[in-house]
Chain A
Amino acid sequence: MSNVAHDAHDYVPPVEIPEMELYHPKTWLGKYVFCQDAKVIAIQYSVVAIGIGLVALVMSLLIRVQLGWPGTFDFIDPAGYIQLVTMHGMIMVVYLLTALFLGGFGNYLIPLMVGARDMVFPFVNMLSFWIYFIAVLVLLASLFVPGGPSGAGWTLYPPQAILPGTPGSGTGIILMLVSLSLFIVGFTMGGLNYVVTVLQARTRGMTLMRMPLTVWGIFMATVLALLAFPALLVACIMMLLDATIGTSFFMPAIVSMGQQLDYEGGSPILFQHLFWFFGHPEVYIVALPAFGIVSDLLSVHARKNIFGYRMMVWALVIIAALSFVVWAHHMYVSGMNPYFGFFFATTTLIIAVPTAIKVYNWVLTLWRGNIRLNVPMLFAIGFIFTFVNGGLTGLFLGNVTIDLPLSDTMFVVAHFHMVMAVSPILVVFGAIYHWYPKITGRMLDDTLGKFHFWTTFLGTYAIYYPMHYLGFLGVPRRYYSIEGTSFIPESAADLNVAISIAAIFVGAVQLVFLYNLFVSYFRGKEAGPNPWEATTLEWQTADTPPKHGNFGEKLPLVYRWAYDFSVPGAEKDFIPQNVPPSVGAKTVDDEDYDQHS
């Protein structure tokens, strides 16, 4: 195995195919709007994703306002409340996190980190962004149609999603389904690009087992997304047909509001299977890029190689594979055949093992390191803490028995926010602080960055840790008001107030981050090509920010893995991947592995 993983350290394979012709834009429009350079597309994706994410952030604050002070704010009525819940969830999961990690970070980092001049299909890549942009516009349009946006919950479960008792069950849900379908079409164009670029366009010497974990994470997430999104696409199309021409894919015989409907024989549970066959891998579509990126942040700023690189790669692959056989753990109490519970509880808890290994290896990367607590590192360590908490509560919900009291309560809300909202977002922040100097040539302000980290890290923990305990009490999720229940103590209302205050605070401090992004672009300290003294190729470019074509005249050759930090005998405590062994010290090879095994 080790000879597959690590070629002899000085081996660089010969040129097999000539370099591809780069497309050069001739007009302003082609350079900045309909641009085919992956770096510009990355910025476009990121700006739109963060913009729509801010809309969803405001929505979440309105949700918290209602839960903290029920009945105080008249403009949030029961219909508006579940519309907010629905739009907040859908935007954050799909239109922010998926788009930002894959469209944003994927586009910027994959070509640079594998040593390619651009994505392999630049035109399709450009199209991918514009279709995503249209999908966002369609989604936003649903805010302004009669009846408003869908209020079916982000899971869009039929029959209610298309029946009159749910807000937005007319135009709102149709726009939602169309927007999702567009998103999937756009994503597929980008996704094929990322996968083919990783597989085909790596520079000479960049073997798969020398790739930085960031690329591995984004690559595996893209593979997952390409396999998972089609399930959502067919579900969307089937529901569109149910809603518009009266098919009965998901619709059994129904009496709605006293009316006998024409539907007959469909299965609402079928939709749930399709949805979660997409929806669970979706969790990892968001998590795997975060896993990859955080591995690199930890390694660079601890000045130490990532511990157990090969294990980390295989853990990513195993998690990705297993994520396709755990989906029904979202459906333990859905009314599906209860015997499925045995299978899905087992697979779900098994997936905890490779995930735990990743956590151990992150922490062991810190062990005997030389840890520089730069702002990206703060976020990386904050991520580990948050992710450990969120991952462990997953063991409650994944264990079918414990899901009985906890499912559909605030415990679920707290768990998934911890594990797939706060954790990935902390990585997003860390990654932005880390790569902003490469993207703009300037450093982000350190003091503002530290303030942003501490308030966000502690604030989000104050929001979500206590929220689990509301779930233990049995406080249901998606409830406009819990007034009039006999088993929920009065003090739960106080806890809700505290959580809401923390949420508003955390929401507000994000303005500091935006301010920092904006001001540092003009006034930030000059970064230089490699401010963190990192080894990967994006820090070794001729220009900062990298120009069209990324690497100047000659593509870099790769001689070593991405983690040659603090190599004994080397002059500096890092050796970039493109430094030949005759110049730097010898890198990791079979001998080193054998010593330790």
Chain B
Amino acid sequence: MIFAIALVILVIGSVLFHFLSPWYLTPLASNWSTIDDTLDITFLVTGFVFVVVNLFMAYCVYKFRYKKGARAHYEPENKKLEIWLTVITSIGVAAMLTPGLYVWADFVNPPEDASIVEAVGKQWQWSYRYPGEDGKLGSVDTRHTTTKNPFGMNPEDPNGQDDVLVLGDMHIPINQPVKMLLRSQDVLHDFAVAEFRVKMDLVPGHVTSLWFTPTVEGKYDVLCEELCGVGHYNMRSSVVVDTKADYDIWLSSQRTYAQIVSGDNAGASMEGVSASEQGRMLAISRGCVACHTTNGTPGIGPTWKGLFGKTETLVDGSNIVVDEAYFIESIVSPNAKVVEGYSPIMPPSSFTDAEMKALIAYVKDDLK
């Protein structure tokens, strides 16, 4: 009796939880309402089975509970019933699978007018590449990748010269289908935006892809959703969905590969932004904060809070006072002097002198 009641309560409770709890899909911001529809159909079918099977079981547990002297019914099998159940189950399965396959066919065939954006993942940061005016991405090779050439651009390829390279947030125009090409330089990553519904792994040695059409303006979190090492949970970025006009303005302010190589800074307008503020933005966009916290709690690397002037013990037992020279050395060749208790896992990075100054200003002034 108690068991039957418990089962009924569990069934009712589960259904109520589904309808009353505040936790469900995040509001959709892309064209993939069909994914949500497929999900709804599956919920309908499976929910029905869940309720019917479990309530039937509760009924049996109550109705056929042990009675002294009673005998169970002797019925080894019932072919007719078993065939019926098989047929009905198959129909239910087909009802869920068919729409699923139709939507998947959409997903594997991106529209021809989709614009191209490449996302590049490395431990533990995101960067983005746009094809520029010629509409073509230049060729790349992992073997070209250095701290000065983080995208691994082929310097000989004319198609690559006008590619726009972005180390900060990704921007896309609203209502324009976009096909993301995904590329990793080191390990598996996964490009996921909850509001867009779609996700795909980045696989070193391959280029993978996904597509969607953003339908709601706003700024959304990009998360890495394939375990990629100790900094995995901090490998984040943002995607900003702009109006077409805002997007064009943003794009024109970004630097192309050719401009970066020639040291031309014309595209980047940082006027009126304080050095420490520029440093803060750099720290976010270049992924520093994935490992270095700014609030004093220990992270994967030492915290930046109160960093300058601090005396650190190194792995070889010696002491060092953190000054500008040590700070810069630790960015350019991070494994030279590792602080005790941390692993030598920081990738070396390249910053321009101005960027380095901004970064120092940020840590020195804002994170005293």
Contacts and interface: CB of A to CB of B under 8 A. Distances in A.
Interface string A555-597: 0000000010111100001000000000000001000110011
B236 A484 contact: yes
B70 interface: yes
A335 interface: yes
A223 interface: no
B186 interface: yes
Nearest to A491: B22
Interface in B7-54: 7, 10, 14, 17, 21-26, 32, 34-35, 38-39, 42, 45-46, 49-50, 53-54
A349 B96 contact: yes
Contact of A258 (B67, B73, B205, B348): B348
Interface stretch (A117-125, A225-233, A404-412, A525-533): A404-412
Contacts of B198: 404-405
Interface residues of A, number: 122
Residue among B34, B46, B226, B229 with the highest chain A CB neighbour number at 10 A = B229
Contact of A82 (B93, B100, B230): B230
Contacts of B73: 304, 367-369, 566
B64 A302 contact: yes
Interface stretch (A53-61, A151-159, A434-442): A151-159
A266 B205 contact: yes
Interface in B186-207: 186-188, 190, 192, 194-195, 197-206
A382 to B, nearest CB: 9
A152 B227 contact: yes
Interface string A390-423: 0011011001111011011100000000000000
Interface string A367-392: 11111110000100100110011001
A356 B188 CA distance: 35
Contact of A370 (B70, B103, B206, B347): B70
Given A268-B204, A352-B93, A255 B104 contact: no
Of B73, B105, B199, B299, the most chain A CB neighbours within 10 A belong to B199
B229 A163 contact: yes
A303 B354 CA distance: 82
A266 B145 CA distance: 18
Contacts of B65: 371, 373
Interface stretch (A19-27, A34-42, A105-113, A336-344): A336-344
Given A495-B23, A592-B76, A78 B60 contact: no
Contacts of A234: none
B185 interface: yes
Given A254-B204, A308-B77, A596-B77, A465 B232 contact: no
Nearest to B289: A484
A215 B22 CA distance: 46
Contact of B223 (A159, A366, A476): A476
Interface stretch (A175-183, A279-287, A467-475): A467-475
B297 interface: yes
Interface stretch (B84-92, B172-180, B263-271): B84-92
A251 B137 CA distance: 25
A14 interface: no
Given A79-B230, A79-B343, A353-B93, 19 more contacts: A166-B230, A255-B122, A256-B123, A260-B143, A303-B71, A341-B108, A345-B100, A360-B82, A366-B57, A389-B14, A399-B97, A400-B104, A402-B39, A405-B197, A458-B10, A461-B10, A474-B26, A474-B192, A596-B80
Interface of B: 3, 6-7, 10, 14, 17, 21-26, 32, 34-35, 38-39, 42, 45-46, 49-50, 53-54, 56-57, 60-61, 64-67, 70-82, 85-86, 89-90, 93, 96-97, 99-101, 103-105, 107-108, 122-124, 141-143, 145, 147, 152, 182, 185-188, 190, 192, 194-195, 197-206, 208, 219-221, 223, 225-233, 236, 297-300, 343-349
Q: Which A-B residue pairs are the 7 nearest by beta carbons?
A: A252-B205, A474-B194, A165-B229, A368-B73, A160-B187, A304-B72, A335-B208
